[in-house]
Amino acid sequence: MGTSSADVSTPARVATTTARPRAEARWRRPLPWAAGALVVLACLGLQTQLYTGQERTVTTIFMFVALAQAWNIIGGFTGYASFGQVVFFGLGGYTTAVVMYHWQWNFWLALVVSGLLAAAFGALIGLPLLRLKGHYFAIATLGVAEGMREVVTNLPDLTGGGAGISIPTVGPGAPTAYLGNDGFYILFLLLAALAVLSAGLVSRSKFGLALRAINQDEAAAGSMGINTTLAKVAAFTLSGFLVGLVGASYAFQQVTIFPERLFDVDITVLMVVMVVIGGSGTVLGPLLGAVALQYLSEYLRQHYTNLHTFILGAIIIVAVILLPQGVVNYAREAARTRDFSLLRNVRRYRL
Amino acid sequence: MRLSTLVVITSACALALSGCGSKGSAQSAAGSDTLTLGAAVSLTGQLAREGALTKEGYELCQTKVNAAGGVPVGDKKLKLAIQYQDDTSKPDTAAQLVEQFNDKGVKLILSSYGSANSEAQAAVIERNGQVMADSAGADNKIFEKGYRRTFAVLSPATEYLASIVKSIAELAQPKPRTIAFVSADDGFSKTATEGGIAEATKQGFTVLPAQYVPNGTSDVSSALTKLKGQHPDVIVGSVHLVEGIAIMKQAHELGVTPSGGFGESVAPPTPDFVKTLGGQAENVLGSSQWTETVKGKDKYFGTAQQYSDDIQAKYGHRTDYHNAEATAACLALVLAAEKAGSTDPNKVRDALAGLDTDSFFGRIKFDPSGKNVYKPMSVIQIQDGKAVTVWPTEAAEAKFVWPGAKQ
Amino acid sequence: MTAFVQATLYGLLQGGLLALVAVGFSMVWGVMNVINVAQGAFVVLGAYIAFALNSTLGLDPLLGMFVAAAVLFLFGYAVQRGLINLVINAPIYLTLLLTFGLDLMLVQGMNIAFTADFRSIPTSWAGKSLALGDIRIPLGRLIAFGVAVAVTLLLVAMVTRTRTGLSIMATGMDRGAARLMGIRARHVYALTFGLAAALAGLAGAMVGTVGTFNPAAAAGYTLLSFVIAVLGGLGNMYGALVGGLVIGLVEAWAGQYLPGTWVNAFAFLVLILVLLFRPSGLVGRPFYASRVEV
């Protein structure tokens, strides 16, 4: 998260995640990875307890965990807030749909190709777009996403256009059997695990350090010898790859896809909301944010059928005002400084 | 990181432990003296308006059926209960809600609004062995996938414009020569346009190249400007309410005045159309799934006029055909349960497939793919600010006014 | 040829209306670095206020729009002072999230209060057209265009000649220095946001007269404001007008010479090209992209 603005009170925040003031016991280091593996196993166990409707909800949670983590790589670590991340989602989804519908490819092959295509697109547009900064980058990526949706809508022979395209799942035309709710649960769980793993690896590596340096002060990072263009494009490409994989899986799950849904700007906004509320620039933050927000919106929708959007909006406002740095960052700082005051939070960022 | 790691490990253990027990049994649908139907409707989002009308239709069905004592299933009379959820106008949410209904043991489903949502729901219905009565998803594509558990009470999309073209061919004196179509680019509108073009060609009209506009746009000026130079006799719009209103307003602004006037698929029968356009809506043709003059009656709702009075009394507005098609879907499920003598989804499904009944909505019968091709659509025309039925002539309540006759 | 002239004229008029919708958004972003995702909701709210005044009191929207502007000014002032000022120092996507939450509440609130029915404000004059030979100039849109130009000129005059306006621009350029000079930044920010909301209300009344609206239309206006603000450029009060006119023209010409459904894709293409070659927008000031706030 951008510490380039007023926050000068905790300069050590970046340092705490990589270098420790005292030597870490060797057995502690693999702890986060073990914890992660445990969570994956636990989720598999959870599957036996869920009904199909709940299973779908949890599957959607996994999907957003993966999306949020992917956004975090370019938006949280690097500080380049992309508002067009959904373009990779849609590209991945449509690539899968098109190759499965027109040429009867196997889904697993389509999945890999979709991810790679999304990554290639990311590299292609990243090069010119990442020269822009701040809001302009955000809007440019938004423009790309919206533009791509329009392009997809206007190629009806290839993509079905506004009428949508259906992946064949029954009968002899179907290249891969439909995975079913259980299958998709596992697929999205694996994708979420992959995303968290990637974010974790990036976070702890020199690459991650480079990204954080770019976030704090790009000019200084450049003068320290970091190839900022390469680092930024690599982050953007990686993020695009992960989102593309998720989009491909989503397309297969939905069977029939439409451009308005696969390129829906709401999906990007949700990614951003989850990362920011959870705590951007951390690995745990987007995870918690995705779980909390998706579960909350599902719960509200079921129990407050008429008012759920209204209540969700109010909760977001309150969360942003009281915890602007996100839950995880707040918790870490509060644990470290023993200061749990939410009011201090408000005082920090207000005018 | 220590704190976070601790948190993660604790929650992981909690999750893992939860996987050790056994799953409780799925709740069964309510008590055995109610017939529970599940309805995911669009209460928020782009389709909120039509979703609200759909919900009204379902609610009226519940009220009237229960007022008549309930649904006679076997030797019991079951109370009708409909559970509602909001799908926020998104197809994947609509599908997910069908799954959640399935978890709760609700197997008989009333569709959401619109072809996109209904299509998504139909796929889930097929997989779960539920049954769905489709009230508002008219796109023929839904029924070309081999689904056997979804039944649409409304006429398919291809009929929307074909009926307008048929009415012009039959009743317009002198007959116009050229027809131009303006279509939104979503699936339903494009299917309707195909149906309209096919019918127009069959009837011997010259069909100008169709103009496509982005779905949901309020600016159709470029399509109209292009058409102005081609001088069509009739302009027919395969669009929804927003584009439909825009066509009329902008045609007036740009001076596009085809001698035969305008026709549109979905917009003219709705009250909003006349309210927002005032005098500009005069003599516009529209196609409707149902009007108050439709012939037919049934034991719960009486005739079409009686149904209309009930909606007016309960909701205070003139009946929209979206109300009627929703009630008809609910009625179809109710009659099927009665015919099957059980609420078992497979028996209800078979009963629906063999249903052939008269109703306030017209004839309800399904072809093997699940479409209702036995009920004709009505063509209405705005005359003096009211939508009156002008075709088919047996059900007409006013004479067809042909703007082209004034030349 | 007439089709081209007609399309151009219509596009310019449409562009003027779009500029009116976007001008508040552009101002708020330029001066305060706040992205107001609820801009579309403000516009639709203004339309509903003008509609309500018209249907209950029979007030013509040309007068009703001032009432809508006043109501929205108060609302915007309160929102800025009470909510947005609390997170103004945080990274940009936090204010974005806040306004996103506000947008959810406003749109759903309007959905519940007014239902999702489509409305339009009926007037006797909006549907008429002036005719120049074969070319039609719709009166309603012409007036909306006039209002847009007048508003822009007034805004420019305000920020260059009045003390309030100057304090707004000063705070936008360097908040720290402005505060040191005795400008009350909290109040100025609230004033700016209130002004932007008022302009949105004005635009809403015009939109309601010329077209139709319902709560779901809000998202479209927000997206439009984004595109126009960036295209025109920040830091310059003419930016929205320029951006709006360009978008209006581009869409009109694209609609004439490409299949109708390519219009939006073309508009976004233009946006991206402009951003790549002139990142600060057509008439924007580059300084605004790299401000550091204290």
Q: How close A212 gets to chain C, by Cα (Å)?
A: 15
Please report all neighbours of B, defined by 3+ CB atom pairs within 8 A.
A, C
Together in a domain, B59 and B126: yes
- Asked if the model's pLDDT at residue C191 lies above 50, the reply is yes
Residues 171-200 of B with CB under 8 A from C: 185
CB contact under 8 A, C101 and A6: no
Q: Read off the pLDDT of residues A297-351 as tens digits, 9 standing for 90 and up.
A: 888 888 887 788 899 889 889 888 888 888 888 888 888 888 777 777 777 777 7
The pair of structure tokens assigned to C62 is 């040309």
CB contact under 8 A, B49 and C214: yes
CB contact under 8 A, B95 and A35: no
Q: Which residues of C touch B180 (CB under 8 A)?
A: none
pTM listed for this prediction: 0.85
A91 or C272, higher pLDDT: A91
Quote the domain boundaries for residue B132. 26-155+293-365
Q: How close A41 gets to chain B, by Cα (Å)?
A: 7
The answer to whether residue B48 neighbours chain A at the CB level (below 8 Å) is no
Q: Which residues of C touch A313 (CB under 8 A)?
A: 100-106, 108
What pLDDT score does B127 carry? 83
Together in a domain, B211 and B318: no
Together in a domain, B283 and B298: no
Instruction: Indicate the number of domains in chain B.
Output: 2
At residue C95's C-alpha, the angle toward residues C91 and C98, to 5°, is: 140
Looking at every residue in chain A, the average pLDDT score rounds to 84
Q: Is B21 part of a structural domain of the chain?
A: no
Together in a domain, B191 and B211: yes
Q: Which residues of A touch C272 (CB under 8 A)?
A: 140, 143-144, 147
ipTM score of complex: 0.85
How many residues are given for chain C?
A: 294
What does A255-289 look like in DSSP terms, one character per residue? SEE-HHHHT-HHHHHHHHHHHHHH-TTSSHHHHHH
Together in a domain, B37 and B132: yes
- Asked if the model's pLDDT at residue C41 lies above 90, the reply is yes
Q: Which residues of B touch C2 (CB under 8 A)?
A: 229
What is the average per-residue pLDDT within A21-35? 68
| Closest CA in chain B for residue A180 | B127
Q: How close B306 gets to chain A, by Cα (Å)?
A: 30
- Asked if the model's pLDDT at residue A22 lies above 70, the reply is no
Return d(Cα A348, Cα B10) in angstroms, integer: 32
Together in a domain, B298 and B264: no
Q: How close B48 gets to chain C, by Cα (Å)?
A: 6
Q: How close B100 gets to chain A, by Cα (Å)?
A: 4
Q: How close C129 gets to chain B, by Cα (Å)?
A: 6
Alpha helix (H) ranges present in B104-213?
A: 115-128, 158-171, 187-202
- Asked if the model's pLDDT at residue B22 lies above 70, the reply is no
CB contact under 8 A, A269 and C100: yes
Together in a domain, B225 and B86: no
Residues 114-173 of C with CB under 8 A from B: 115-120, 122, 127, 129, 131, 134, 136, 138, 140-141
First-to-last CA distance in chain A?
19
Return d(Cα B398, Cα B391) in angstroms, integer: 9
- Asked if the model's pLDDT at residue B31 lies above 60, the reply is no
Together in a domain, B276 and B305: no
Report the range of poorest mean pLDDT among A328-342, B268-282, C63-77: A328-342
Q: Is B401 part of a structural domain of the chain?
A: no
Q: Which residues of C touch A316 (CB under 8 A)?
A: 97-98, 100-101, 104
CB contact under 8 A, C116 and B52: yes
Mutation target vs C (from B253, B272, B320; most C CBs, 10 A cutoff): B253
First-to-last CA distance in chain C?
55
Helices (H) then strands (E): counts for chain C: 11, 2
| Closest CA in chain A for residue C188 | A351
Together in a domain, B278 and B216: yes
Return d(Cα C199, Cα A207) in angstroms, integer: 46
Q: Read off the pLDDT of residues B351-387 as tens digits, 9 standing for 90 and up.
A: 999 999 999 998 999 999 999 988 889 999 999 988 8
Mutation target vs C (from B181, B222, B230, B243; most C CBs, 10 A cutoff): B222
Pairing of strands B178-184, B206-207: parallel
CB contact under 8 A, B276 and C119: yes
Q: Which residues contact B86 (CB under 8 A, 6 or more apart)?
A: A301, A305, A306, A308, B40, B41, B42, B43, B44
The pair of structure tokens assigned to B19 is 């996987």
Return d(Cα B195, Cα B234) in angstroms, integer: 16
Q: Is B274 part of a structural domain of the chain?
A: yes
- Asked if the model's pLDDT at residue B225 lies above 50, the reply is yes
C161 or A38, higher pLDDT: C161
**How many C-beta neighbours within 10 Å does residue A19 have?**
10
Nearest by Cα to C30 from C195, C144, C177, C147:
C195
Q: Read off the pLDDT of residues A50-71 as tens digits, 9 standing for 90 and up.
A: 777 778 888 889 999 999 999 9
Together in a domain, B96 and B230: no
- Asked if the model's pLDDT at residue A135 lies above 90, the reply is no
Q: Is B403 part of a structural domain of the chain?
A: no
The answer to whether residue A139 neighbours chain C at the CB level (below 8 Å) is yes
Domain spans of chain C, in order of start: 2-290
CB contact under 8 A, C265 and A142: no
- Asked if the model's pLDDT at residue B7 lies above 70, the reply is no
Q: Buried b vs exposed e over B95-133: b needs ≥16 C-beta within 10 Å?
A: bbbbbbbbbbebbbbbbbbbbbbbbbbbbbbbbbebbbb
Together in a domain, B139 and B122: yes
Q: Is B238 part of a structural domain of the chain?
A: yes
Please answer whether residues B352 and B151 qualify as being in contact, where contact means their C-beta atoms are separated by less than 8 angstroms: yes
Return d(Cα C239, Cα C228) in angstroms, integer: 8
What pLDDT score does A15 carry? 45
H helix or E strand, kind and range, residue C194: helix C185-210
Domain holding B108: CATH number?
Answer: 3.40.50.2300
Q: Buried b vs exposed e over B51-76: b needs ≥16 C-beta within 10 Å?
A: bbbbbbbbbbbbebbbeeebbebeee
Residues 215-234 of B with CB under 8 A from C: 216, 218-223, 225-226, 228-229
| Closest CA in chain A for residue B146 | A170
Q: Is B345 part of a structural domain of the chain?
A: yes
Please answer whether residues B381 and B391 qualify as being in contact, where contact means their C-beta atoms are separated by less than 8 angstroms: no
pLDDT-derived band at B29, boundaries 50, 70, 90? very low
Nearest by Cα to C77 from C201, C196, C190, C197:
C190
Q: Is B3 part of a structural domain of the chain?
A: no
Q: Which amino acid is at A55?
A: E
Q: Read off the pLDDT of residues C167-178 as tens digits, 9 standing for 90 and up.
A: 998 888 888 889
CB contact under 8 A, C255 and B48: no
Together in a domain, B129 and B56: yes
Q: Out of C7, C211, C254, name the one closest to residue B218 (CB).
A: C211
Mutation target vs C (from A78, A144, A153, A317; most C CBs, 10 A cutoff): A317
Nearest by Cα to B16 from B8, B5, B6, B26:
B8
Q: Read off the pLDDT of residues A162-208 as tens digits, 9 standing for 90 and up.
A: 778 888 776 666 777 888 888 899 999 999 999 999 999 999 899 99
How many residues are given for chain A?
A: 351
Whole-angstrom Cα Rg for chain B:
23
Nearest by Cα to C85 from A350, A319, A317:
A350
Please report all neighbours of C, defined by 3+ CB atom pairs within 8 A.
A, B
Query: Domains of chain A by range and CATH?
Result: 39-301 (1.10.3470)
Return d(Cα B392, Cα B183) in angstroms, integer: 24
The answer to whether residue A348 neighbours chain C at the CB level (below 8 Å) is yes
